[in-house]
Amino acid sequence: MASVIDERQAEIADEFAMFGDWMEKYEHIISLGRDLAPMDESDKVDDNLIKGCQSRVWLAARKGDDGHVRFTADSDAIITKGLVALMVRTLSDAPAADIAGANLSFLDEIGLHSHLSPTRSNGLQAMVKQMKLYGLAFTAGA
């Protein structure tokens, strides 16, 4: 049975397949960034800051009574924030173990893999790593 994370990735890939060119794709990413649920200001602290070289990303995680991990996040750059929104949509509200072991292939499929490269210095790669670490920590019962 496909995990909820894989189902979401397939859904995102379908969604992006509709776009004819890069402009539409980026416009969609920007609108996802605008629509991302706001992060509590109390969570936007340095402890939750993932330092990219250029754009800053904040990430907070909580484990619910149902055993699912929920992420909230933000970024000061809107394209990064749109990509952050995709990550949150994919990984949030899923079992901790699934998050820790997730294979994120959807960025490849939608042609945005370069954004995960460390040379982009946008903090996104470090964010994915941090999300998986949260998954691991919560699996261990933290």
Partner 1 sequence: MTTPTLYDVHAIRAQFPILSREVHGKPLAYFDSAASAQKPQAVIDAQARYLSHTHSNIHRGVHALAQEATEAYEGAREIVRAHLGAASTREILFVGGTTDGINLVAQTWGRANLGEGDCIVLTRMEHHSNIVPWQMLALECGFDIHVVELNPDGTLDGDQFEQHLARGPKLVAFTHVSNALGTVNDVKHWTTRAHDAGATVLVDGAQSVPHLAVNVQELGVDFYTFSGHKTYGPTGIGILYGREALLDAMPPWRGGGEMIGTVSFENGTTYNELPYKFEAGTPHISGGIALGAALDWMNGVGMASLTAHEHVLTQHAHAQLESIDGMRFIGTAPCKAGVVSFLIEGVHPYDLGTLLDQLGIAVRTGHHCTEPLMDKLGIPGTVRASFGAYNTVAEIDRLAEAVARAAAMLR
Binding site for partner 1 (CB under 8 A): 22-23, 26-27, 30, 53-55, 76-80, 121-122
Annotated catalytic residue 91: no
Contact 36, 59 (CB under 8 A): no
CA–CA separation, 23 and 21 (whole Å): 5
Residue 33 CB, shortest distance to partner 1, in Å, is 9
Q: Which residues, in sequence order, are bridge partners of residue 49?
A: 58
Residue 30 beta carbon to partner 1: minimum distance, rounded to whole angstroms:
6
3-state SS class at 50: strand
Helix (H) or strand (E) holding 71: strand 68-75
- From the candidates 31, 35, 45, 53, which is the catalytic residue? 53
Nearer to partner 1, 45 or 53 (CB): 53
With respect to partner 1, which residue has the nearer C-beta, 49 or 77? Answer: 77
The rounded distance, in Å, linking the Cα atoms of 76 and 78 is 6
Closest contact distance (angstroms) between CB of 104 and partner 1 is: 20
Kindly list the catalytic residues. Answer: 53
